[in-house]
Structure 1
Amino acid sequence: MGPDAVSFKPSPVVPHLTRPQLAEARRVRAAELFDQGRSGAEITRMLGVSDESVRQWKRVWEKDGADALRRRPATGRPPKLDDAQVERVRTALEQGAQGHYFEADLWPLERVDLVVERVIGVTLRGRRTHMPGSCFSTSQASRCCPRSAAPTRPAATRLSCGTG
């Protein structure tokens, strides 16, 4: 990294950014650098991104301004479970399937659905999409399912319930 390079690595002082937040920070910084008249090559080097990304961001910036480079709110159906509910389900799943009176200590998606209904009172039904280690939706998978609660292979190939 040269003297002009911007570091986007986690810092003990700065709170950890999620990947979408990090990507937005890069785009916003690129807009600032466009305003300063920096070249595409300089911005590529400073932000550690591809030439194509910088060219794409510049087209958006020229057409719609810096705000167009910011993240847009998520669209679609809102999640069925809030963060507190996801945490309650995670805690329940960490007890293991046998802790919920299932014979084998496996987590096919149907069992996860039952535990969610028992613990939260929310019925998760409908289309299923598979993500290894997921239980309801891809957006909630990383927040909820412990690795030991990963669905078994037959259930994982079925369609997913939840918010997706």
Structure 2
Amino acid sequence: MRAVDLFDEGVEVPCIARELRVSEKSVHQWRRTWGTGGREALRSRGPCGYDCRLGPHLQTKLAMWLAEGPRTAGRTARCGPPRGYAR
């Protein structure tokens, strides 16, 4: 939102980029978005990326598995050398 304030004040793109420590390309994109949609168009919409690809059934299974807490997945933890190992 600081960029919008600077746009309103008529500050040049290179100065905005330096002050906000971003590329001039980013500032140009923000200015274009601001010009077409105003301040609201620049509000954060949260992180970008893909939605979860697990289906509902697998999400439920994963949640149950995580709720069980740490486990060794069928392996037994051993301390020291394997049996039959001569020191």
Give me the TM-score of the superposition, normalised by structure 2. 0.58
Question: 1 or 2 for the larger relative contact order (CA 8 Å, sep ≥6)?
Answer: 2
Specify which of 39, 43, 51 is matched with residue 70 of structure 1.
43
- Give the match's secondary structure for 1:72: coil
Specify which of 46, 51, 64 is matched with residue 24 of structure 2.
51
Deviation at 1:31, TM superposition (A): 0.8
Q: Distance in 2 between matches of 1:29 and 1:65?
A: 13
Equivalent AA in structure 2 for residue 104 of structure 1: R
Matched with 1:39 is: 12
Give me the TM-score of the superposition, normalised by structure 1. 0.33
- Give the match's secondary structure for 2:17: helix
Q: Distance in 2 between matches of 1:73 and 1:56?
A: 18
Equivalent AA in structure 1 for residue 75 of structure 2: A
Equivalent AA in structure 2 for residue 41 of structure 1: P
Matched with 1:153 is: none
Paired residues, what number? 64
The answer for unaligned runs of 5 or more in structure 1 is 1-27, 106-164
Deviation above 6 Å: which 4+ runs of structure 1?
A: none
Deviation per CA, 1:62-100: give whole Å up to 9, x if none.
1111110002368x68xx68xxx8xx73xx43xx323xx
Matched with 1:104 is: 75
Q: Distance in 2 between matches of 1:45 and 1:73?
A: 25
Matched with 1:130 is: none
Equivalent AA in structure 1 for residue 9 of structure 2: Q
Q: Distance in 2 between matches of 1:41 and 1:104?
A: 59
Equivalent AA in structure 1 for residue 14 of structure 2: A
Deviation at 1:52, TM superposition (A): 0.3
Deviation at 1:61, TM superposition (A): 0.7
Highest CA radius of gyration, 1 or 2?
A: 2
| Counterpart mapping for 1:139-154 below 5 A | none
